[in-house]
Structure 1
């Protein structure tokens, strides 16, 4: 029976085309022979070779990856502590202000955040002499500042759903609070921590505005290089770079999907096996098994008497 396409289906298809057709065009034009981005002059892969020869872009990629990695690590640690304070501790003076300050970067414009951090670093350099120069360290501090807010929301939402009776039972049996957190609470919120880490890594890798305020001449991130190249005139090297990023993200998403599907298949198979083992036998099979059991007992008794 044929089903008619409804309005919602057409809207979904149009939205997907609007999102993915530009990416497909970008991938196609990354193999363009011409230096002009919008003029097709034949198939060529020379821009990928030019991309790997560009030391500025390669250095910017490594700088962005290092900053994003360490920013995500620190943001997850701070977010876990902040989420634990917000959800598990009793009300204390200033708890509302603490929660508001943690989540303020979520609604604060990037321009305001970048400008305030720039003024903070300049004031600290003039008063205490640190940081002397703006570079990777100042970018890392700025990224940790706004990534912590996003990770806190993710982790705190999961922490509120954890059953506290299991933790209380462990502490009643003599487990210290830190050991209870490491063995019970942490494994329960580990998926949220992983999600917060990935979100923080993506936000840090993609940031442009805040990095432009707090960076110095010795540290240039990948979004800053791409933005400057667009202002001066974009080349197919940027298309090649974007294609590689799309390929890496797609590969990571596919691997994650495959691992989750494999884990789900194992769980379903284990559940079916447990249900089959726990399922009662039919009445004829139970009778046969009972008769066999009685005969085995008689044989064992006869064997015991003969041995004696």
Structure 2
């Protein structure tokens, strides 16, 4: 067995450092006593504590804004994830189990991949145009939390469907035939056999969708209203005014939450495979 040149390993380590050193710097300065500037003023946890207690914050109004944005972010992520998980699972089952013709199947698969590869800015601009037309029919499409939920669902569905579809491919079509041989109705087969076997893929797809919603900025920026700010939008606005250790602490917590969710999703996906 041939061994790789040591330079390959060094390049890999440097690449990982290039990816994670900026986030490490943010985490370090979130523990900095100094509020402004890049000089180190000592170790402190107060910036993390101030995120939960406005009385400990040098800017209580900012802390209250962050807490309100946290609630909006969680509501947005949870509601959009539930909707996208249900629709994405149904879409995956329909694509994988319905007897499509080969040409139709290729066409539908390409449509499913399209939202994944489409740049967020294009999807966000398309949503703004669509909402400007649809809001004449219903106030549901006014810029704000409902519009943000619809916008997030539009790109989450594809990711959920792809994860669930990969799980369906591993199961094969033998289960359907066995259920028919045992005189089971299709509804019984779906409830008692298919959905339990799909559960790891569904959970992994839901966690991926939740992570995407939690971190999304572009679509949220285009569809947000004045009373529906999310944490990424708050961080963006704070960066334009000047970054404080409090924002560093908030960014670090969001990054850690994202890492945990991605690792759990990857573990569930590997287990389902």
TM-score category (smaller protein): 0.7 to 0.9
SS of equivalent to 1:218? coil
> What residue ranges of structure 1 are gaps of 5+ in the alignment?
264-308
1:110 aligns with 2:147: no
Residue in 1 aligned with 2:47? Answer: 47
1:163 aligns with 2:172: yes
SS of equivalent to 2:135? helix
Distance 1:254 1:188, change over 3 A: closer
Distance 1:89 1:204, change over 3 A: same
* Deviation (angstroms), 1:246: 4.2
- 2:83 and 2:221 mapped to 1: Cα distance? 21
Residue in 1 aligned with 2:30? Answer: 30
Contact 2:208-2:262 at 8 Å conserved across structures: no
SS of equivalent to 1:32? coil
Distance 1:176 1:99, change over 3 A: same
Please list, as runs of the form range in 1=range in 2, the aligned pairs for 1:290-305 lying within 5 A after superposition. none
Question: 1:122-164 CA deviation, whole Å, 9 max, x = no partner?
Answer: 21222x2422632111100000000101111111122122132
SS of equivalent to 1:160? helix
- 1:138 and 1:22 mapped to 2: Cα distance? 33
Distance 1:254 1:72, change over 3 A: closer
Please list, as runs of the form range in 1=range in 2, the aligned pairs for 1:57-72 lying within 5 A after superposition. 57-72=66-81
Contact 1:121-1:131 at 8 Å conserved across structures: no
The aligned length equals 258
Residue in 1 aligned with 2:57? Answer: none
Rg bigger for which structure? 1
Please list, as runs of the form range in 1=range in 2, the aligned pairs for 1:109-258 lying within 5 A after superposition. 109-126=119-136, 128-131=137-140, 133-248=142-257
Distance 1:259 1:211, change over 3 A: closer
* Deviation (angstroms), 1:37: 4.5
- 1:254 and 1:152 mapped to 2: Cα distance? 19
- 2:223 and 2:200 mapped to 1: Cα distance? 32
The alignment's C-alpha RMSD in Å is 2.9
- 1:245 and 1:199 mapped to 2: Cα distance? 15
- 2:17 and 2:229 mapped to 1: Cα distance? 34
- 1:139 and 1:80 mapped to 2: Cα distance? 21
- 1:251 and 1:91 mapped to 2: Cα distance? 38
Distance 1:252 1:87, change over 3 A: closer
Contact 2:30-2:245 at 8 Å conserved across structures: yes
* Deviation (angstroms), 1:69: 1.2
Question: 1:257-287 CA deviation, whole Å, 9 max, x = no partner?
Answer: 9999xx9xxxxxxxxxxxxxxxxxxxxxxxx
Distance 1:258 1:133, change over 3 A: closer
* Deviation (angstroms), 1:250: 5.8
- 1:50 and 1:194 mapped to 2: Cα distance? 33
TM-score (norm 2): 0.84
SS of equivalent to 1:102? helix
1:74 aligns with 2:86: no
Contact 1:64-1:205 at 8 Å conserved across structures: yes
